[in-house]
Structure 1
């Protein structure tokens, strides 16, 4: 019979604040530390020797020598139905949607297909250390119902929503304002707040929703104030021009959502590459977060996100893979690309800042600080064990490295799913690397 108390021993690394603003004061590193877990939550943390002396007699102890234990990764923007079309060649956003994304999304009219993809998708997230994600389904309510069913069976904290589109997309992927409202309402009633699941009202982006549908989204948010809202903004210059032509009375792209009443604390906007200062100020005013998706921005050729400008304006930014525009499920690889995006603008991104965006920054963007994103007493025990010696190259690179930032930077630049030794959700192992 499994012990009710478990202890994970290793080098603990998480954040007590935002390193963009507080530097290394925000970094909490406990070499040879330990976490005590009971009923899925962290009940104590501290030096290994002290924890074992106080709790070791009645606990199941797992030792991770020379490993880093960090909070479970949080992906704040990803598309379930684009899993099988990841790495599709040669197009920028609007043509890419028409040629690749929309045809793939049509397959999700089949619930069995949605279940199969959801299983693969969630297993791939866990394999990459991601324990929470903000997920786009398709216009089909069964796509989200299937996803929640699989996530619930795995005991995961996941947020998802049915895409709402009533124009400028294939007929097979269109709903109406009324249909989108009713199907979303039914999904909210069935799944929102059940176990660790939450719902996100999901207008795809301004060009595919009429003003009437955006009002239906507002109604859903007003009737269900604890749900999320997710959409896209200012990803691509042609997209921005299209929005101007579709909403000529709106001051700018973000004003479309602002005028519709969709911006609030639990709203997450993907991309935000080409935002004006007014739009940035608007995000700040409404406490709305941005999901930075560098692998997608580079792969689809959308542009370079000015992360430092967002931080200077105190916008809550988190990391997103944006699969399948993004080319990897790995948030380590996402940091790799985020670093290069800043380098191309003559700016730097530290490993601490990158890991923050992937952990506590993600929790703050999702209004879940104190629940996930930290190795903190009272938090859910979602965590990841990173192996800095997972590949021969990493092992060789780090043989003579002792400084924490250099070690973490190399791990995040050279690492991928091979560096994930174990992934824990509520203190239970949900992924374990197969070491041959």
Structure 2
């Protein structure tokens, strides 16, 4: 592989991150519950702490990437992520070494590192790739990286099961090692040739430089009504995804019921996860062949249809009365999300300026974190007061405004093309 190519480095980076995430998170529940003994409240609180960390630091780290260096931001993030996952995998040993710090306190420390590390990478990695490879190639690269990430996820599922069988904490230690190794590799392979640091900023204080970059990024969002609407809608999307992701398994188990077969609960969800990944892989491959990712109108139209399919599938799951119906709905939701993620990233980057790209991407991610932190518990509360089905239904309804945004965008592009012709 020619690691001088920005596109290949980005795809390799995405592959390694997806592999590490799959190894760690496929069987993370076994480690958190069986080994660390976390109760349901602590599990929810763990996720809330992570999202709050992202919410607080996302804007700061995005500004760092736009003000100083996208490459440096990504590499710092990889090492912090590696440290966070290593801490999480070593909690029992660390607790034995420093017993005054409880097991859950060590979990909180690991989540803080996870959140901070992720914010250094989020936005900066995509902004670096788009600048180095060019906006016209970004969509194709994002689609390929998504396909390779899904392949890595399949590989990670098998690795996760094997490592967890030996010892549940090994998955996090392996993930931490992969992230740290990736950070070392990027030090040597990642080149930054298109990023231009502002010369006049060298005489300014660090705070003034970063504040200026943040204000520029906020101005970009404010000047583009559709981008502003997208940031607002991301709040609803975050709330919807948090509610759906937390509750679809619960609905299958308690609301619908799994088939009476000699298959363990873990095996069932492993099978569902693998099937969803394969279906997403096929969808991404088809989209690569059929879609012109450089066409703004096609990207906008595709996002409208993918969002519509996702909403319909979530509502279908809420109405499902048998396992097959529910399973098909879950698979369609997963496939639509897998294909729409790189398309959405492409759409977003088409509407951003290079000098504030990482900052605005971080603002969007921050909006998603706020939606998950604030809206997720509301969707969960509806489930506790009414039913899990009601929560899943709410998650689908929360995504409806996104259809209006992408529909309006597609109509604008069509009118623009007609006026030009």
TM over 0.5: no
Structure with the bigger RCO (C-alpha within 8 Å, sep 6+) is: 2
Whose helix proportion is higher, 1 or 2?
A: 2
Structure 1 length-normalised TM = 0.23
Structure 2 length-normalised TM = 0.24
